[in-house]
Structure 1
Amino acid sequence: MCHFISHKKVTWLELFYDLVYVAAVSITAHVLAHSHHGTIPVDVILKYILIFVPLWWAWTGFTVYVNRFGQDDSVQRIAYFVQMVFVIMMAASINLDFGAYYLFFMLGYVGIRLSTVFMYMRGWMQRDGEPRRISRYLAISFLIGALISFSSVLVPGDGKFIVLYTGIVVDILLPLLGRRRVLSKLPVHHPHLLERYGLATIILLGELILVIVNGLREDHITGATVVSAVLGFIIAVSVWWHYFESSEHIAGEDRKSSGQSVIYGHLLTFMSLGIVANVVHYGFHHELTPRSFAWLSVAGFVVYAISSAIIFLPGKHQAQIVRSLIRTAVFVLVAVIVLPLLPSVEMIYAVLAICFAGYGLAEGIVRKRGKQAGN
């Protein structure tokens, strides 16, 4: 069965599909740019999370389907285009007044999930053996989740949000519950999966560069704005360095698994990049108090570090796993302890850039030494 997917490569249609999602993610990240009296209100942070999770899961669902069963035929291409229409619906519905736009957002999400269910049902009918069994399990699982979410239209008031996210949680948990019994029988194609998530990550890093460019354009270029731009660029380069240094390393490992560490870990990676984009935004526009800016910076770094520990944890050697976790824990502790103690936004921003740069360089040094030892 591995021969069925061993040739998989990213297609131009997949890249087109990613761009539509990145537009939605960019709009979602902008939610955190709404500060009030020097802080980001708790309800704004909650809305960022609640909007982000369905976007990530909708993208992930079809991405993993294509990884296992993609054929690049006319039906699959049409499914891509149908999903893109629903993504546009979701993106157009993203607003701080989430309740007013809820119906279109929910219909967009459910439409994406049902089109993914259709593709799994198609596989269920066409395939034999383990591919048929996995297609059936995921088709039924995702149909249950989508129907629960859709039933939220029958619930008045804020109860509809509970029903919507109950469906999403069911959708997310059922593949985890079926990992050993079902999904492990047909591993994902890891190089393709890493390439798909890597391309989405680099497009999101492009959004971070756009924040830097806008920051320079919106204000008069002064010494302070140049410093803000340089620090933001250092952060972007450091994330790129760390992420792709790590990704290249695990892509070379012969992993046979359901890929769930990569899949679920990237929820945190993508979410962290949205947070970091807002850190850079507030680095130009000093709309947050130093304390609020510090905790936003801590959140961006810590969420990214945790995600990388999940995604890029070495797969074979116990000693490497322990060293990787210790290295991540040290950088996380430094960020959590030091950043909130700093007295100004400028100092916090500079130390955050140092944390990201140090984390990226440390990973590069470790990987280089590992290659030299292997040789």
Structure 2
Amino acid sequence: MTNLIKHKRVEFTELFYDLVLVFAISKTTALIHHLHNGILTWSSLFDFFMSLLVLVNSWMIQTVYTNCYGKNSLFNMVIMFINMGLLLFISNMIGHDWQLYFHSFCLAVGTLTLTLFFQYLVEYYRQSTDTINRKSIKGFLWMTGLRTFGVYLAALLPINLGIYVFRSQYLPYLYYAHNHDS
């Protein structure tokens, strides 16, 4: 029995979004270019991996949505352009002085996650969405909804507490990805 593979045309907005993401990731490498006495510090390495996780995770959630449910509609294009603007804003805050921008960074990441939440929410309530897809979408709604709340909460807290709340928002994704590999 052969399965039909449905090919989806790649839209220019998707390609441009990927280009903006590559730019943002290239900005994160600045975190590991600065050596202290010829040594890369653990904190610089951790900052690099954390910012990379934030960017790549947002891209992965957007890509899953685009590949499974995305259409070249006005709604999806507006969301993609908002996300591109947020990615550019976020990428300009990534650097060795990131602590100065922590609250703005959290607000931007929270808004980026909120837009992803809205995309999945609209798809969840669309009449053409079947039960199997609704179950999958529900997992993304929980993940993006809780993360949005947590990241916005981190933005309201002093940095010495907010940083731990922010970091904890990426643990559920690691659990979800590990337990839903199929």
TM score, norm. by length of structure 1: 0.45
- SS of equivalent residue, structure 1 residue 158: helix
- Cα distance between partner residues in 2 of 1:13 and 1:72: 9
* Residue equivalent to 2:88: 88
- Work out whether residues 24 and 91 of structure 1, in 8 Å CA contact, stay in contact via their aligned partners in 2: yes
The aligned counterpart of 1:37 is 37
In the alignment, which of 121, 129, 134 is matched to residue 131 of structure 2? Answer: 129
Once residues 83 and 24 of structure 1 are traced to their aligned partners in structure 2, the CA distance between those partners, rounded to angstroms, is 12
Match of 1:317 in 2: none
- Check conservation: 2:102, 2:155, Cα contact below 8 A: no
1:193-342 alignment, distance < 5 Å: 257=182
1:155 is matched with: 157
RMSD over equivalenced CA pairs, Å: 1.9
TM-score by length of 2: 0.89
Pair 1:29–1:95, CA change in 2 (3 A) = same
**Are positions 1:65 and 2:65 aligned together?**
yes
Task: From the CA coordinates, give the structure whose radius of gyration is larger.
Answer: 1
Distance 2:16 2:112 in 1: 16
Q: Secondary structure at the match of 2:100?
A: coil
Contact 2:124 2:137 in 1 (8 A): yes
Q: Distance in 2 between matches of 1:116 and 1:51?
A: 18
What is the distance in 1 between the residues matched to 2:104 and 2:6? 38
The answer (yes or no) to whether the contact 1:28–1:94 under 8 Å persists in 2 is yes
Letter in 2 for 1:120: Y
Identical pairs, percent: 23
Shift of 1:43: 1.8
Instruction: Give the corresponding residue for 2:148.
Output: 146
User: Shift in Å at residue 77 of structure 1?
Assistant: 0.8
Per the TM alignment, residue 83 of structure 1 is displaced from its structure 2 partner at its CA by 0.6
Any idea what the Cα deviations from partners look like across 1:147-205, whole Å, max 9, x if unmatched? 1122112322322111001112223423443x27xxxxxxxxxxxxxxxxxxxxxxxxx
Check whether the contact 1:148–1:163 (CA below 8 A) recurs between aligned residues: yes
Whole-Å separation in 2 of the counterparts to 1:46 and 1:131:
35
Note if 1:109 corresponds to 2:120.
no
* Matched-pair contact (CA < 8 Å) for 1:146–1:171: no
**What is the CA-CA distance between 1:18 and the residue it aligns to?**
1.0
CA contact (8 A) 1:117 1:142 kept: yes
Deviations 1:105-157 (A, max 9, x none): 21221111111110110111012321122222311222012211221123223
SS of residue matched to 1:138: helix
Contact 2:103 2:156 in 1 (8 A): no
Higher relative contact order (CA 8 A, sep 6+): 2
Distance in 2 separating the partners of 1:125 and 1:56: 27
> Corresponding residue for 1:166?
168
Alignment length, in residue pairs? 178
Q: CA deviation at 1:66?
A: 0.8
Partner of 1:281: none
Indicate conservation of the 8 Å contact 1:93/1:101, yes or no.
yes
Instruction: Return the alpha-carbon distance in structure 1 between the equivalents of residues 141 and 46 of structure 2.
Output: 30
Q: Distance in 2 between matches of 1:111 and 1:153?
A: 11
Change (3 A) 1:79 1:157: closer
Answer yes or no: is the 8 Å Cα contact 2:20–2:88 preserved in 1: yes
Work out whether residues 146 and 168 of structure 1, in 8 Å CA contact, stay in contact via their aligned partners in 2.
no
Per the alignment, residue 9 of structure 2 pairs with 9
Bigger helix fraction: 1
The question of whether the paired residues in 2 share the 8 Å contact of 1:61 and 1:113 is answered with: no
